[in-house]
Amino acid sequence: MPRAVWSGAISFGLVTVPVGMVSATEDHSVRFHQYHEKDMGRVRVRKFCEVEDREVAADEIGKGYEISKGQIIPITDDELGNLPLPTAKAIEIEGFLPLEAIDPLHIRSGHYLQPAGQVANKPYRLLVEALGRSSRVAIAKFAWSGRERLGMLRVRDDVIVLHQLLWPDEVRSAAEVTPPPADVDENEIRGALALMDTMTRDDLEGEEFHDHYTEALEQIIEAKREHREPPEVPEAETEPGKVLDLMAALNASVQKVKASRGEGGEAEVHELPRTSAAAAKTAKKQPAKKAAAQKKATEKSTSGKKAATKKAPAKKPRRTA
């Protein structure tokens, strides 16, 4: 079982639930150290005291806030652990709201909260049931790692999960990176939706959600350890570049997804009839032109028949000056 990284209590009105916080995620990344390329000696980061010009041990290092150059206010771990805040040792629930009301941009890492002892089991279960039936999440404040944080409590497999949230003023406005306007017609939107329908999944299981980067990195390390050539890099299926024909790209994408799943049949996104004002105006004019052409052809045919039954008059000589 993972080790608890924080202990305290959930404060839900007058209900207190003692809990411990354990990590809900794992990091499988390959870690590198820094080495001197000449002799492969390990390069380490050492901490030196500027005053004594010597390396100091971890138990000699403390925290401090610099008010001005040379004026430091020391802050101890005991002082941080006993801040005059109700959230110093508690997760204070401030309110409840639908999960859809929280922008995913605010959500950070998650931790499981486990009941701390037998006495916490019943109030813990009460909060699990209440959150589950309400279809809402709890928004709370808590202090951890030297600062007060915003959090979100939700239920996953009958366990309460605490997600750290960014404070509202920590999320930058998207106005600075908003792209310029671009014309996208209905056919292209319809094609994109068709591709989304084809790529819709029920979960995150499958080869598509496998960490191929770490796997490839491990293969390189293993090959170098055995003094073998690393595996060759596969050629890219398509070259990156500017997409000129969105409809063709969407149709090709839908067909590719279906083929990868072994689904038969041709998948094609058909263009919708033009519905713009110019198209409607053109459509209105076409029947009138067609009717006029048919009428002219009929009149010509009738006059031709009449001329055939009638003797053509003799041409008069052209007058000359």
Same domain, 13 and 122: yes
Same domain, 164 and 224: no
pLDDT at residue 11, as a whole number: 87
Same domain, 226 and 195: yes
Query: Over the stretch 290-300, which tens digit does the pLDDT of each residue have?
Result: 444 454 544 54
Q: Is residue 93 part of a domain?
A: yes
Same domain, 79 and 108: yes
Same domain, 132 and 17: yes
Same domain, 17 and 91: yes
Query: What single DSSP character describes residue 209?
Result: G
pLDDT at residue 78, as a whole number: 78
Query: Over the stretch 148-179, which tens digit does the pLDDT of each residue have?
Result: 899 999 999 999 999 999 999 999 888 888 88
Same domain, 163 and 214: no
CA torsion sign for 106, 107, 109, 111 is positive
User: Structural domain tally of the chain?
Assistant: 2
Query: Over the stretch 256-293, which tens digit does the pLDDT of each residue have?
Result: 777 777 776 554 555 555 444 444 444 444 444 444 44
Same domain, 75 and 153: yes
Q: Domain containing 249: what range?
A: 186-202+210-260
Q: State the Cα–Cα distance between residues 308 and 171, nearest whole angstrom.
A: 88
Same domain, 133 and 158: yes
Q: Is residue 16 part of a domain?
A: yes
Q: Is residue 137 part of a domain?
A: yes
Query: Over the stretch 5-58, which tens digit does the pLDDT of each residue have?
Result: 888 889 888 888 899 888 888 888 888 899 999 999 999 989 999 889 999 999
Q: Is residue 88 part of a domain?
A: yes
Token readout for 161 is: 């999960």
Same domain, 85 and 195: no
The residue assigned the tokens 């020391």 is 74
Say whether 11 sits in a helix, a strand or coil.
strand
* Whole-number percent of the chain with pLDDT over 90: 25
Q: State the Cα–Cα distance between residues 137 and 154, nearest whole angstrom.
A: 5
pLDDT at residue 304, as a whole number: 47
pTM score? 0.61
Q: Is residue 92 part of a domain?
A: yes
